[in-house]
Amino acid sequence: MIEVKNLTKSYGNFVAVKGISFKAERGQILGFLGPNGAGKTTTMRIITGFMPATSGTVEIDGLDIFTNSLEARRRIGYLPETPPLYSDMRVESYLRFVAKLRGVKRSAVDGAVDHVVKVCGLTEMANRICGQLSKGYRQRVGVAQALIHDPPVLVLDEPTIGLDPRQIHEIRELIRGLSGERTIVLSTHILPEVSQICDKVVIINDGRVVLEENIAEIPVGTSLEEVFLHAIAREGHVEGASAEETLEEVSAGHSE
């Protein structure tokens, strides 16, 4: 599970993330929504240990990502905004490389690669050079490398961006099939994605959390789009209570 407490990140004078807090329980799929520039990618990079927070903590399974970095990183599978592929490697060699880096035991590497190739539909492309893959397949290889060490936590930054409708559907099915015991955080600005796959939604705007709510709690009949637009319209406020208010406002707007 992931616990983010009061995360702040500033680049010099510019504060990208202002005191974000949220929690994803074990087995939950959390959708991280927000307009462009809201701070989604920055937050994900801090969660995965790529960059440090200016203040605040992130705990992965109880381990602090900053002080217990190595152990915490072992538990995470990460797909950054741009899939981190080496364009001169073949898909299979690349996955093998990532498997070893991520601590998969030597004897288990082959099995892990085979499994992940199957799950992500990469069997035909396994011998292709990464640089020659289309966007859809690159994304799939990206998901594959995030999964290869069977991590309990998955962080996916915009996993369906730039894909065609059929590929989007496939990736979503893939992600849905992955949950079970895993905790998944995915960021997106495609609303239907969140309502279809996620158990919980966190909406951020301008570096602050403006809504943190379980999908189930959103009243039937209100579209996530309305909730979203209302949430980002308010002057940056925080979780819990405001979720109720936002939902009430939306329902009120409905009955008018």
Q: State yes or no: residue 70 binds other proteins (CB under 8 A).
A: yes
In one-letter notation, the amino acid at residue 246 is T
The window from 79-87, 167-175, 181-189, 240-248 that contacts other proteins (CB under 8 A) reads 79-87
Residue spans of alpha helices (H) in 25-134: 40-47, 69-74, 91-101, 109-119
Rg (CA), the chain: 19
Residue whose CB is less far from other proteins, 103 or 192: 103
Residue whose CB is less far from other proteins, 2 or 231: 2
Residues 89-108 that bind other proteins (CB under 8 A): 89, 93, 97-98, 100-103
Q: State yes or no: residue 87 binds other proteins (CB under 8 A).
A: yes
Q: Which residue of 5, 23, 74, 128 would you call a contact of other proteins, by CB under 8 A?
A: 74
Which residue is it, tokens 């069977």? 150
| CA 37/CA 173 separation, integer angstroms | 27
**Which residues partner with 7 through β-bridges?**
20
Residue whose CB is less far from other proteins, 85 or 191: 85
| CA 79/CA 155 separation, integer angstroms | 6
Q: State yes or no: residue 145 binds other proteins (CB under 8 A).
A: yes
Residue whose CB is less far from other proteins, 142 or 218: 142
Q: State yes or no: residue 84 binds other proteins (CB under 8 A).
A: yes
Q: Which residue of 6, 37, 55, 88 would you call a contact of other proteins, by CB under 8 A?
A: 88
The window from 28-36, 78-86, 225-233, 245-253 that contacts other proteins (CB under 8 A) reads 78-86
Contact 136, 161 (CB under 8 A): no
The number of helices, as runs of H, and strands, as runs of E, in the chain is 9, 10
**Which residues partner with 154 through β-bridges?**
77, 184
| CA 252/CA 83 separation, integer angstroms | 42
Q: State yes or no: residue 76 binds other proteins (CB under 8 A).
A: yes
| CA 33/CA 47 separation, integer angstroms | 16
Q: State yes or no: residue 52 binds other proteins (CB under 8 A).
A: yes
Number of residues that bind other proteins (CB under 8 A): 31
Q: How many CB atoms lie within 10 A of CB 26?
A: 13
For residue 182, the surrounding DSSP H or E stretch is none
Residue 115 CB, nearest distance to other proteins (Å)?
19
Q: Name the residues that contact other proteins, by CB under 8 A.
A: 45, 48-52, 69-71, 73-74, 76, 78, 80-89, 93, 97-98, 100-103, 145
